[in-house]
Amino acid sequence: MPVYKAPLRDMKFLLNDVFDYPGHYQSLSSGGNATPDIVDAILSECGRFCEQVLSPLYQSGDEEGCQLNNGLVTTPKGYKEAYSQYLAGGWQGLSAPEAFGGQGLPTSMGLFKQEMMGTANWSFAMYPGLSLGAMNTIQLHGDEQQQQTYLVPLTEGRWGGTMCLTEPQCGTDLGQVKTRAEPQLDSSYRLSGTKIFISSGDHDLTENIVHIVLARLPDAPRGTRGISLFIVPKFLPDGQGGVGERNAVHCGALEKKMGIKASATCVMNFDGATGYLIGSENRGLECMFTFMNTARIGTAIQGVGPAELSYQWALDYARERRSMRALSGKKEPDQDADSLIHHADVRRMLLTQKAIAEGGRAMLYYAAKLADHMVEANTQGNHKLADKYDNKLGFLTPILKGFLTEMGYEATNLGMQVFGGHGYIREHGMEQIVRDTRIATLYEGTTGIQALDLLGRKVLLSTQGGAVREFTFKIANFARKQLTNKQLRPMAVELLKLTAQWNFLTVRVMLAARKDRDAVSAAANDFLMYSGYVTMAYMWLRQATVAVDKLANGGTESSAFYQTKLHTAEFYYERLLPRAQAHATVSVHSTT
């Protein structure tokens, strides 16, 4: 069975050399304890936990899956023990406020943890991952009593969390939500309705599950303006930090899925369940976006993680498996055939996986700094500054979610291709990575929905192209500084051209949309993919710039490490970035 190895060298290269996280943490009120030594220790210990505890459960969990018996959901063998170790390590509260029992470290530290966990075993990582979204929602929008009641056990991991949006008659179109919330004399509500596709809807890992539920009040307006948000616990709190009587919410069925079979995806029935309003009436969707944006960034990890895992396993296989001779001549004359890695097309596939995984990781870490600043501003009550960073992060979120999951799925298919026929066989694990990754392009909004969010909402409606102008200005300024370097100049010139073209495409769609709004939908997917390729190109130029400097002046890693970074950047620009032009061409044709 293949094993996962935490890519700590690549992670630290980004943290310390590319994005200067040590300096970044010094600027945060929550970063005082995030010293380089502490960060290294946390990353190393989390890597060990993922390698030794979570990774061995990846394939066995897929084969066993979750079970529903007598209304109770059980997780696969080993999951409860792994979750106990997860809690003992204090991982759930890593970035949670100290006031609720957390360690108070920056938000980004939680993302680094989640990346390793999601790469080692995505099904397991979803259970605590959904809880983080519930915690963020209650922290930002819950009243003081709700925070005191729910955030401590959620932070400790004794309770889990979910988000309950989708219903049988509606997916992304939440204006069709029918779940009803009837007000009660004690200020609570009775919720009735059915939710589907609810990840972690029921399981045996925690003593309670806190459902964050969208529902309608009796006099609510039609559409999305009439949706409110509620807390509906599986067991009602007993007022002393524990659980009391069972609430009227139950798992009616487990979805039979293509992948992530060890993650309990439930049909949840609310039969007059007791719930409590979060935020204002009919403002639920606004509050829910806190949860949804958290989930979308988390889902972007499911593009990077599987690409990394598939690459690791494919690379090991390509080094060991022998087949035919290299076209350039025998590479291992004492063997009957050469290793797969000596074949140029196999190296192409491996380099594509590597470029996607490491370029995608850089995109995530870049966004994580914005998230840190946003949380810092909210904590200090500086709502204007928080909105500024929220807008920056909001622009990147659909790119991260849409582009990275599409590219991650491509990478997993390439890994399966490296294995050939063996990749199609379950014992090698490659087909499982493909199956598990397929959902990432669908849930939390399909790629098409992310594309409409990016182009329609974030670029055209909210900023009239300003979001693209601001981001490309930042990219162009960085690229211009590299024009004097002979090794970096070709990449810098290409990136400058693309930033100009990105603005041209934005204006082109904006003008076309004045005559025909369908032009936005027609161009959106290609616009998103173009945006993703250019953003990843920016990340690779940043990595290449550091690599060139370290090769000249020395660094903590070997010259071979930095040379490989530079070669991978060049590969991305030469072999993957040209795809952006095809998307640009289609975007233009979509507006005519």
Query: What residues does each domain of the chain span?
Result: 8-290, 292-304+358-410+424-587
Tokens standing for 346? 């196999």
Helices 107-120 and 284-320, interaxial angle, to 10°? 50
Is 444 considered catalytic here? yes
φ, ψ of residue 159 to 5 degrees: the values are -110, 150
Between the CA atoms of 271, 274, 279 and 285, what dihedral angle is there, to the nearest 10 degrees?
A: -10
User: Across all residues in the chain, what is the average pLDDT?
Assistant: 95
Tell me what pLDDT residue 287 has: 81
296 neighbors 130 (Cβ within 8 angstroms): no
User: What's the N-to-C CA distance of the chain in angstroms?
Assistant: 52
Pairing label, strands 159-164, 180-183: unpaired
Cα 255-257-263 angle, rounded to 5 deg: 75
Pairing label, strands 208-215, 159-164: parallel
How far from 373 is each of 26, 286, 468, 477, CA to CA, in Å?
A: 12, 21, 20, 22
For the entire predicted model, the pTM comes to 0.96
The shares of helix, strand and coil residues in the chain, as percent rounded to the nearest 5, are 60, 10, 25
Helix ranges restricted to H, 75-186: 79-88, 107-120, 122-141, 144-156
Q: Which of 167, 444, 470, 557 is catalytic?
A: 444
Tell me what pLDDT residue 592 has: 81
Give the 3-state DSSP-derived string for 218-271, with helices as H, strands as E and coil as C: CCCCCHHHHCEEEEEECEEECCCCCEEEECCEEEEEECCCCCCCCCCEEEEEEE
544 neighbors 485 (Cβ within 8 angstroms): no
Contacts 24+ apart (CB under 8 A), 144-149: 146/231, 146/276, 146/278, 147/100, 149/237
Q: Which residues pair with 265 in a beta bridge?
A: 199
Tell me what pLDDT residue 103 has: 95
Low-confidence ranges of the chain (pLDDT < 50): none
Tell me what pLDDT residue 292 has: 61
How far from 351 is each of 241, 456, 459, 546, 580, CA to CA, in Å?
A: 51, 34, 32, 20, 18
Tell me what pLDDT residue 295 has: 62
Tell me what pLDDT residue 202 has: 98
C-alpha closest to that of 463 among 391, 562, 550: 391
Label residue 477 exposed, middle or buried (CB < 10 Å: 0-12, 13-18, 19+).
Answer: exposed
Helices 430-438 and 284-320, interaxial angle, to 10°? 160
Q: Which residues pair with 232 in a beta bridge?
A: 211
Helices 383-419 and 466-481, interaxial angle, to 10°? 70
Tokens standing for 335? 């063997």
CATH assignment of 8-290, among 2.40.110.20, 3.20.20.70, 3.30.1330.10, 2.40.220.10: 2.40.110.20
Residue-wise pLDDT for 448-469, tens only, equals: 999 999 999 999 999 999 999 9
